[in-house]
Structure 1
Amino acid sequence: MVVSRLQSHDNRGKLYVVGTGPGDLLQMTPRALKALGEADCVIGNGFYLDLVEPMLAGKEVIRSSMGKEVDRASRALELARDRVVAMVSGGDAGVYGMASIVLEVAERSGTTVAVEIIPGITAAVSAGARLGSPLSGDYVTMSLSDLLTPREEIERRLDLAFRMRVPVVLYNPRSRGRPHNLDAAVAIARRHLPETTPVGVIKNAYREGEERLITTLREFNDHFAFVDMHSIVFIGGEETRIWRDETDARGIITPRGYHRKYVY
């Protein structure tokens, strides 16, 4: 067993990798806000920097574009040798975020810079709350982005996930460059789930322009145009249901299992 503290050997600099949650400052943790407040320099993708803009006054801000994650990680570690640096990452930095590449670059470079990963609310949790309780027990998250994972491997994993008949959350569901990845995922879902399976989509969770869609697997194809890279898609499991009132769908519920043990 190795017990250690993530501290710089020279104690001069530090790198925070900050999960900013869905983008609303009210949805960030106090620890994340404190780290941004402590930082001399904040680095990140421009979209996520814009979401935390009120926290950036008086700081050096370094904007980076998509596809430059390795360069961004290297630059942040270099700056953190003698400065306090915050790298922002949407949602939780450890879930399809920047934490892994920062740690990989740190490991390979042999840096002594202290790195602290600060968790944030990942999209499955924030968007799930907007739908009700679609993920109350076991579930699977999958990214449909094939930039780093081959499409064949994504489809193999999706098939295994839907076989379990638990809710599946799809990150990066549909972009202009790969509009058909969502079609393929839904086709795989249909192999293992009934057409009445609930499907929920949240676009821009907790941000300006937030929208919600609740439908079924049968009808979902008619709504693909609603889905983009600012959306997250929930495909229910075998017990997931839509909670309806007289006029509308109020939300999605996946029972935890209390009905098998209690009367209520």
Structure 2
Amino acid sequence: MKIYCIGIGPGDEKYFTPEAIQAIKKSDVLVGYKYYMSYVENLTKGKKQISTGMKKEQERAEAAFAEAEKGNTVAVISSGDAGVYGMAPLLWELKQKNNSAVEIEVVPGISAMFAAAAKLGAPLGHDFCSISMSDLLTPWEKIEKRIKAAAEADFITAIYNPLSQGRFWQLMRLKELFLEVRSPETPVGIARQVGREEENTEVIQLKDLDTSMADMFTVIIIGNSQTQKFENRMVTPRGYLSRKTDESSTGKVGRQIMNESFRTILQEVSFEGKSLAHIWVALHCIHTTADFQLNDFIDLKNNVVPALYEKFHSGNPPVIVTDVSMVTRGIRKAIAQKLGLQIKCYLDDERVKTVAEEKGITRSQAGIRLAVEEHPNAVFVFGNAPTALIELVKLVRNKKANPAGVIAAPVGFVNVQESKWQLKYGCPDIPAVFVNGRRGGSNVAATIINAILSWNEAKAMNPGEGL
């Protein structure tokens, strides 16, 4: 007493597995939906056939057990894979319910979504799921929850049973839900009657999906955020090429981790309307602090990022002067040495204490005065001391300093915002990066310099396109 539950794939004999063919040949009785039975017609000679119409799955399963209990070997025919929206679960349920002694063997077949994916290119290259739109056995409320989850989790999503005569609106509701979190340009594959004479496939954009494109014999595959359209096919990268690019371009695990962090930030933060330079600086700052709100506090003036990048890579770069030594330690040493950058902090200069005592000013102010005397055209980087930034503004307005650029990121509560306002409104022509409000810090100031030094990577990787 045995039942083979056989998946025959999309329908054409070329998709039958050798195991499926042998199981059919061993069977005395064939049971199946009459439409699917037509695809095994060449294997039915001399065998009893039991076929029924749609929505008669339980009737077919009970007939299969009845024939098997007579001592026959029975083949239950399913399209695709029998375990994927097929007859296998129902047969096992009945065996359990009736405590039947009939043996069940499931013979796998090519699922409709895999056949469709093969025709559409390579859309299932990363994590995917499938959702049936049929609400005959599953309440629509539950189906809608699954749709939302798939869309929000960025799963590639195969849609079974997208449309029927009585179920005409659900597909457009699915489109609406996906558009809440996915780009309108997301590639969508439409595969109809795959493996049969009427086979037709096309790749469209999510915004163009319409009920006229589908029926019960259609599988729809919605790509994820990485899926691309290429030659009327869909390709979802697995990530090998981008990983190799990261490894060859950096050769360091730390840089790979940073790039992965950037991808995470891009998913969490909206950069809509922001320039590429802003995005690049913000990515570095958020990566350093895990403070997503920094995106709203960063302000770039006078083309500062490309302007300073060109100066640093000119062969005759300006000196970088920092307000505290902590900033100097955060700047990438390898690239600084490669470019021949001088990075100086005057705070520990033995002259500073003397100047501070003689003039009745802070050591930070004294350090900036000495720096301006020796390097009036430096790039000045502030991550701690607002008094140092205020001192620089005075020297600029007195024509004693002409900075190539300023990173204004002092942090704290006293004179912090005022120091930034003085620079922004008192020296409006200086290329500058501001971390507005009370936010900032030595680590933030250093990472802004690092962002500027690596500006060429931003242009090559384009974080606005998801790195």
With normalisation by structure 2, the TM-score equals 0.52
Equivalent in the alignment of 2:90: 101
Correspondent of 1:230 among 207, 217, 234:
217
Q: Could you tell me whether the CA contact under 8 Å between 2:5 and 2:77 is conserved in 1? A: yes
Q: Does 1:215 align with 2:197?
A: no
> Does the aligned pair in 1 maintain the 2:51–2:60 contact within 8 Å?
no
Equivalent in the alignment of 1:262 = 244
In 2, Cα distance between equivalents of 1:178 and 1:199:
21
SS in structure 2 at match of 1:111:
coil
Letter in 2 for 1:175: S
Question: Higher Cα Rg: structure 1 or 2?
Answer: 2
Aligned residue identity for 1:262: K
Alpha-carbon distance between aligned partners in 2 of 1:226 and 1:114, rounded to the nearest angstrom: 42
Cα distance in 1 for partners of 2:238, 2:194 equals 24
**2:126 alignment partner in structure 1:** 137
Shift of 1:209: 0.7
Alignment partner for residue 241 of structure 1, among 217, 222, 228?
228
Partner deviation per Cα, 1:29-81 (whole Å, 9 max, x = no partner): 11011000111110000011011111111111111121111121111011112
Letter aligned with residue 126 of structure 1: A
Structure 2: distance between partners of 1:65 and 1:83: 23
SS of 1:187 mapped into structure 2:
helix
- Distance in structure 2 (CA, Å) of the matches to 1:185 and 1:37: 42
CA contact (8 A) 2:189 2:202 kept: yes
C-alpha distance in structure 1 between counterparts of 2:234 and 2:243, whole Å: 21
- Structure 2 unmatched runs, 5+: 249-467
**In structure 2, the residue corresponding to 1:192 is in which secondary structure?**
coil
Match of 1:201 in 2: 190
Q: Which has the higher contact order (CA 8 A, sep 6+)?
A: 1
SS where residue 145 of structure 1 aligns?
Answer: coil
Output the aligned Cα RMSD: 1.1
* 1:117-159 CA-partner distances (Å, limit 9, x unpaired): 1111101100100000000121010000000000111001100
Q: Per-residue displacement from partner, 1:139-198 (whole Å, max 9, x unpaired)?
A: 010000000000111001100110011210000011111011111111111111010100
Match of 1:180 in 2: 169
**Structure with a larger share of its residues in strand:** 1
For 2:180, what is the secondary structure of its paired residue?
Answer: helix
1:18 matched to which residue of 2? 6
**Which segment drifts farther, 212-221 or 198-207?**
212-221
Give the match for residue 107 of structure 2: 118
- Quick one: distance in 2 between partners of 1:158 and 1:219? 18
Structure 1 residues not aligned, in runs of 5+:
1-12
2:62 maps to 74
* Deviation, structure 1 residue 113: 0.8
Q: Does 2:206 correspond to 1:253?
A: no
Measure the CA separation in 2 of the matches of 1:56 and 1:112: 26
In structure 1, what is the Cα distance between the partners aligned to 2:39 and 2:82?
15
Q: Read off the aligned partner of 1:230 and give its amino acid letter.
A: F
**Bigger share in helix:** 2
The aligned length equals 245
C-alpha distance in structure 2 between counterparts of 1:107 and 1:65, whole Å: 25
Q: Letter of the aligned partner of 1:239 in structure 2?
A: Q
Instruction: Give the Cα separation in 1 of the matches to 2:170 and 2:13.
Output: 32
The residue type equivalent to 1:67 in the other structure is K
Deviation at 1:226, TM superposition (A): 2.2
Give the Cα–Cα distance (whole angstroms) in 1 for the partners of residues 86 and 174 of structure 2: 22
1-structure distance, mates of 2:155, 2:240: 17
What SS does the corresponding residue of 1:87 show, helix, strand or coil?
A: strand
SS in 1 for 2:58: helix
How far apart are the structure 2 equivalents of 1:226 and 1:220? 7
Alpha-carbon separation, structure 2, partners of 1:67 and 1:209: 24
Distance (whole Å) between structure 2 residues aligned to residue 27 and residue 21 of structure 1? 6
Partner of 1:45: 33
- Output the amino acid matched with 1:164: A
Distance 2:212 2:119 in 1: 20
- What is the distance in 2 between the residues matched to 1:196 and 1:88? 39
Q: Distance in 1 between matches of 2:213 and 2:43?
A: 32
Once the two structures are superposed, residues 97-116 of structure 1 have per-residue CA deviations (whole angstroms, 9 ceiling, x without a partner) of 00011110111111101110
**Identity rate of aligned residues, in percent?**
36
